[in-house]
Amino acid sequence: MTNARWMKCCVILGAMALLAGCFERPPVDAVQRGFRGTGMDQIYNPRSVQAQAAINGLPPDTPPMPAVGPTAGQTFQNVKVLNDLSVGEFSRLMVSITAWVAPQQGCTYCHAGNDMASDALYTKVVARRMLQMTQHINADWKSHVADTGVTCYTCHRGQPVPAQTWTNGPVQKAANAGNKAGQNSPLPTNGMTALPYDPFTPFLQQANNIRVVGGEALQNGNRISIKQTEWTYGLMMHMSESLGVNCTYCHNTRSFADWETSTPPRAVAWYGIRMARDLNTSYLDPMAATFPAARLGPGGDSPKINCATCHQGAYKPLYGQSMLPNHPELAKVRSVMATVSPAAAAPATAGGSSAAVLFAVGSKAVSDDGTKALAPVIDALKADATAKVTLSGYHSASGDTATNEELAKQRAFAVRDALQAAGIAPERIVLEKPQVAEANVAGEDPRARRVEVAVMK
Ligand code: HEC
Ligand code: HEC
Ligand code: HEC
Ligand code: HEC
């Protein structure tokens, strides 16, 4: 089993015993990506590649407007996200989002009549949250979207509803025929296989472990089951289909679990799973009451995001072309969003009680110096029982980002554990996402490897 298409072929073969079903014309191209003999080839069908190229062009755009003159916040009545854009930047963005999301419907898709300030239409309320979500993806999920980032067009492609979304599957009651657990329903979501058709709820909404290889031989403590394996494979089929790649794009199939022999895109995919989960739980799910009933799933939940929502069959959405140079306003977190990113706006510290705990290269152990640096912070927290403390792990800009981020996270955990050991309650400790150190801090500078600790009133 080396690739998705092969698995599909096996299904067709088994069902129809018809060899001809396996060969597509014109012949497919194979591209070797791994070492010779590892079988890490990618299979491309020229017809699908051609169809893909057609939907991955960029829409026409205009150059950015200057950030001068009065701001949208000063000029308009009901602007909550884009307040610090200039009126020129704001108006241009309104024209762009109309082209990206509602080109047929126009401004009135989100605006009720001539009263632009009114929030009467749910589409405007959703669009405002989508503006925040887009900024959040571009600012806080660089571990996945890099500097390429996304705009509304990445998902919407000129449609009010993105082509690929999902909702929780219908709840299946155990009837006489038994509970199918979502199986034997070949749908595009599971690559037309008999695997569970909703592998999204457990992994892209809930945070279940994507593990198949058990760590223990005996039942005691080993929760890896055939059912869990099937969910995992269902998700993997979806990931392959969404990116238009085979399993070997990410795995050396000698061992699916082994990270050492996996390809770099697998680490990017790992962050993609976490990002999709974050977007669904922080943005889409809470909007269930905002969407009209017709947009909700059978269980009353919001339509949600999976890999296909952005990727739509391409290994990188829009083949990795970035629209952000023309839309810097969507690239960084501004105004009200600044509270979400500690790097953009340093939190106010109480009585100067902040500290930087430095770490040795590759180490996640809090040193004696680190313990000393934490002492005044612990004192301040004990003096003010209502104050909270935020921890942000920084790492150098050099080396492998995924490894660095994981290390930054582990270091933040180590500082958290040290604070807890000193008697600080867990709910007073707020962990922030790992940050890349400032460009002027070289990789060798110990300040690049730090956890910043700040007490907040
Ligand atoms: C996809 C939805 C959407 C479309 C289409 C859209 N807008 Fe908006 N518009 C918004 C949102 C959301 C806000 C509020 C932004 C904020 O809170 O930062 C807004 C705010 C405005 C405001 C500020 C009104 C006020 O006084 O508060 C103006 C003016 C405006 N839009 C003009 C336009 C024009 C002109 C068009 C068509 C070219 C357009 N919009 C198309 C979503 C949309
Ligand atoms: C990561 C993907 C993604 C991005 C980026 C994105 N959206 Fe959405 N959007 C969705 C999903 C998913 C839905 C829910 C679709 C449904 O109703 O079935 C949605 C729904 C909407 C709706 C409601 C449509 C309707 O008719 O119910 C509006 C309006 C909207 N988005 C505007 C925007 C705007 C404006 C932007 C850019 C600032 C944007 N979106 C960026 C994924 C995205
Ligand atoms: C785009 C990259 C990508 C593709 C393509 C992909 N996988 Fe994965 N796979 C991952 C990632 C990432 C994980 C780990 C997920 C996690 O830990 O959250 C994973 C985990 C797994 C696991 C669990 C390993 C364990 O630790 O127990 C199996 C089995 C697996 N994949 C099989 C497949 C199969 C079969 C295919 C093809 C149908 C496939 N994968 C395609 C990225 C990919
Ligand atoms: C919000 C939109 C969005 C979603 C959702 C998304 N991706 Fe991505 N993904 C991107 C962007 C943008 C890039 C390009 C980043 C770059 O240029 O390096 C990318 C790149 C990747 C890459 C790197 C490809 C390469 O060859 O380097 C992989 C692998 C990937 N995504 C897998 C996934 C998987 C798996 C999922 C679902 C769990 C997913 N993505 C969900 C936007 C998204």
Q: Tell me: pLDDT of 281 over 90.
A: yes
The pLDDT value recorded for residue 151 is 98
Q: Which of 26-40, 266-280, 441-455 is predicted with the least confidence, judged by mean pLDDT?
A: 441-455
The pLDDT value recorded for residue 16 is 40
* Residue having the nearest C-alpha atom to atom 41 of ligand 2: 152
Mean pLDDT, residues 239-245 taken together: 94
The pLDDT value recorded for residue 21 is 43
* Residue having the nearest C-alpha atom to atom 39 of ligand 1: 107
Q: Which of 8-22, 36-50, 182-196, 236-250 is predicted with the least confidence, judged by mean pLDDT?
A: 8-22
CB distance 156 to ligand 2 below 6 Å: yes
- The torsion angle over the Cα atoms of residues 136, 139, 141 and 144, rounded to 10 degrees, is 130
The pLDDT value recorded for residue 6 is 42
CB distance 455 to ligand 3 below 6 Å: no
Strand partners, 47: none
More confident residue, 299 or 285: 285
CB distance 81 to ligand 4 below 6 Å: no
CA angle 328, 322, 436 (to 5 degrees): 70
The pLDDT value recorded for residue 3 is 46
Percent of the chain with pLDDT over 90: 40
Gap from CA of 269 to ligand 4 centroid (Å): 6
Please name the residues in contact with 238: beta carbons below 8 A apart, sequence gap of 6 or more: 189, 190, 191, 199, 200, 306, 307, 308
Q: How confident is the model at residue 220 (pLDDT cuts 50, 70, 90)?
A: low
Please name the residues in contact with 370: beta carbons below 8 A apart, sequence gap of 6 or more: 357, 358, 359, 415, 418
Question: What would the pLDDT profile of 103-145 be if each residue is shown by its tens digit?
Answer: 999 999 999 988 999 999 999 999 999 999 999 999 999 999 9
DSSP 39-55: --EEEE-HHHHHHHHHH
The pLDDT value recorded for residue 443 is 45
One-letter identity of residue 402 = A
Residue ranges of domains in the chain, CATH in brackets: 4-55+164-311 (1.10.468.10), 342-456 (3.30.1330.60)
The pLDDT value recorded for residue 335 is 34
Gap from CA of 93 to ligand 1 centroid (Å): 9
Q: Report in angstroms the alpha-carbon separations of 281 from 202, 207, 216, 307.
A: 12, 10, 32, 15
CA 373 to mean position of chain CA atoms: 34
- The chain-wide mean pLDDT, for the chain, equals 80
CB distance 265 to ligand 3 below 6 Å: yes
Gap from CA of 257 to ligand 3 centroid (Å): 7
The pLDDT value recorded for residue 42 is 77
One-letter identity of residue 116 = M
Helix (H/G/I), strand (E/B), else coil: 421: helix
Give, rounded to a whole angstrom, the gap between the first and last alpha carbons of the chain: 56
Q: What atom of ligand 3 comes closest to residue 267's alpha carbon?
A: 12
Please name the residues in contact with 241: beta carbons below 8 A apart, sequence gap of 6 or more: 4, 188, 191, 308, 313
Percent of the chain with pLDDT over 70: 77
- The torsion angle over the Cα atoms of residues 415, 417, 422 and 428, rounded to 10 degrees, is 80
Closest Cα to residue 100, out of 131, 139, 132, 143? 131
The pLDDT value recorded for residue 397 is 66
The pLDDT value recorded for residue 358 is 78
Helix (H/G/I), strand (E/B), else coil: 72: helix
Q: Which of 194-198, 355-359, 410-414 is predicted with the least confidence, judged by mean pLDDT?
A: 194-198
- Mean pLDDT comparison of 116-120, 356-360, 375-379, highest-scoring range: 116-120
The pLDDT value recorded for residue 359 is 77
Q: Which of 6-15, 110-119, 441-450 is predicted with the least confidence, judged by mean pLDDT?
A: 6-15
- Mean pLDDT comparison of 178-187, 203-212, 265-274, 362-371, highest-scoring range: 265-274
- Mean pLDDT comparison of 79-93, 357-371, 372-386, highest-scoring range: 79-93
Helix (H) or strand (E) holding 435: strand 435-436
Ligand positioned closest to the Cα atom of 305: 2
Q: Tell me: pLDDT of 455 over 90.
A: no
Structure letter (DSSP) for residue 298: T
Q: What atom of ligand 3 comes closest to residue 191's alpha carbon?
A: 38
Q: How confident is the model at residue 155 (pLDDT cuts 50, 70, 90)?
A: very high
Could you tell me the pTM of the whole model?
A: 0.76
Mean pLDDT, residues 72-94 taken together: 94
Helix (H) or strand (E) holding 268: helix 264-279
Helix (H/G/I), strand (E/B), else coil: 227: helix
The pLDDT value recorded for residue 420 is 85
Q: How confident is the model at residue 457 (pLDDT cuts 50, 70, 90)?
A: low
Please name the residues in contact with 374: beta carbons below 8 A apart, sequence gap of 6 or more: 355, 357, 366, 415, 418, 419, 422, 453
Q: Tell me: pLDDT of 369 over 50.
A: yes
Closest Cα to residue 311, out of 232, 240, 231? 240
Q: Tell me: pLDDT of 10 over 50.
A: no
Instruction: Compute the distance between CA of residue 238 and CA of residue 314 in angstroms, rounded to an integer.
Output: 13
The pLDDT value recorded for residue 122 is 97
Ligand positioned closest to the Cα atom of 406: 3
- The torsion angle over the Cα atoms of residues 139, 141, 145 and 146, rounded to 10 degrees, is 70
DSSP 120-183: -SHHHHHHHHHHHHHHHHHHH-HHHHTTT---HHHHHTT-SS-S--B-PPPPPP--TT---TT-
Q: Tell me: pLDDT of 7 over 50.
A: no
Question: What would the pLDDT profile of 402-411 be if each residue is shown by its tens digit?
Answer: 788 888 888 8
Gap from CA of 160 to ligand 2 centroid (Å): 7
CA angle 226, 264, 233 (to 5 degrees): 15
Gap from CA of 420 to ligand 4 centroid (Å): 36
Q: How confident is the model at residue 342 (pLDDT cuts 50, 70, 90)?
A: very low
Q: What atom of ligand 3 comes closest to residue 274's alpha carbon?
A: 18
The pLDDT value recorded for residue 368 is 79
